[in-house]
């Protein structure tokens, strides 16, 4: 799995200090627009020979920005807001492309990239409406992956889902869908067998069993399941 770009290429919403010089001069007429040389999807806005702002072509079309338009303070703020919204959506798609996310994870990661609450919630609603965010699906996929790949038991999976903002009802339903009858016991037996050589290095039978129990408990299995599985292992009896 690709590592998630948590600490690099961070996005930040723009504050008005960078536009202070321009805000003081507005309103100004946009006398011409020009496609940027390095970004064909962006336009540069000019008043005579003075560069005013850069904007994506989609936003320019949506806000009807063209030669002859009057750039006001309110319109500049609207452009900046729309630019930040586009960046937030692009960041959201990059997150979803790497792996599925819970809604809470999605919100937290966009906020860490500097986007406002309003833009983050707008992005979340849009992604949820498109079924790109779905806590029920995420919970089942997460539970099944952690069980089949990592050998996690129900309690460890439940704790992890809670930390990811999954509701109790959805988390427990995911566990029901993941663990069929005797699945947990069979998983414990497999985990013990995989580490048999490690555990059998302990010659004291009591200490050996304690090590096995601690290991399985750390994986999220209940004591009832651990006891049941240990009875199936001859060298633990």
Task: Give CA–CA dist 153/226, Å, rounded.
Answer: 10
Task: Give CA–CA dist 164/160, Å, rounded.
Answer: 6
Examine residue 38 and state whether it is found in any structural domain, yes or no: yes
The CATH number of the domain where 230 resides is what? 1.10.10
Sign of the dihedral defined by the CA atoms of residues 95, 130, 172, 209, in that order: negative
Closest CA to 127 of 149, 159, 158, 95: 95
- In this structure, the answer to whether residues 21 and 66 fall within a common structural domain is yes
For residue range 70-104, list pLDDT tens digits in order. 999 999 999 999 999 999 999 999 999 999 999 99
- In this structure, the answer to whether residues 50 and 30 fall within a common structural domain is yes
Examine residue 90 and state whether it is found in any structural domain, yes or no: yes
For residue range 9-40, list pLDDT tens digits in order. 444 545 556 688 899 999 999 999 999 999 99
Examine residue 173 and state whether it is found in any structural domain, yes or no: yes
Instruction: Tally the domains of the chain.
Output: 4
- In this structure, the answer to whether residues 25 and 55 fall within a common structural domain is yes
Full residue range of the structural domain in which residue 124 is found: 83-133
Task: Give CA–CA dist 84/59, Å, rounded.
Answer: 11
Taking each helix axis as running N to C, give the angle between helix 154-163 and helix 135-148, from 0 to 180 degrees, rounded to the nearest 10: 140
- In this structure, the answer to whether residues 57 and 44 fall within a common structural domain is yes
> For tokens 């490690």, what's the residue?
198
Beta bridge partners of 28: 71
For residue range 110-122, list pLDDT tens digits in order. 999 999 999 999 9
């Amino acid at each position: 799995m690709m590592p998630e770009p948590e600490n690099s290429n961070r996005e930040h919403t723009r504050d008005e200090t960078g536009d202070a010089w321009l805000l003081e001069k507005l309103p100004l007429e946009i006398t011409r627009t020009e496609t940027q040389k390095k970004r064909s999807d962006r336009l540069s806005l000019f008043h005579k020979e003075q560069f005013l702002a850069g904007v994506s072509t989609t936003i320019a079309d949506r806000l009807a920005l063209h030669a002859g338009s009057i750039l006001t303070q309110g319109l500049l703020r609207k452009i900046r807001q729309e630019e930040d919204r586009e960046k937030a959506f692009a960041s959201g798609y990059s997150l979803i492309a790497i792996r599925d996310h819970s809604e809470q994870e999605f919100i937290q990661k966009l906020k860490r990239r500097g986007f406002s609450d309003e833009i983050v919630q707008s992005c979340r609603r849009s992604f949820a409406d498109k079924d790109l965010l779905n806590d029920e699906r995420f919970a089942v996929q997460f539970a099944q992956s952690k069980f089949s790949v990592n050998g996690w038991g129900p309690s460890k999976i439940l704790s992890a889902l809670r930390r990811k903002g999954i509701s109790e009802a959805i988390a427990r339903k995911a566990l029901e869908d993941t663990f069929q009858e005797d699945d947990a016991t069979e998983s414990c037996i497999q985990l013990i067998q995989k580490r048999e050589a490690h555990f059998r290095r302990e010659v004291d039978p009591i200490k050996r069993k304690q090590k096995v129990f601690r290991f399985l408990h750390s994986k999220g299995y209940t004591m009832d399941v651990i006891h049941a599985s240990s009875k199936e292992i001859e060298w633990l009896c």
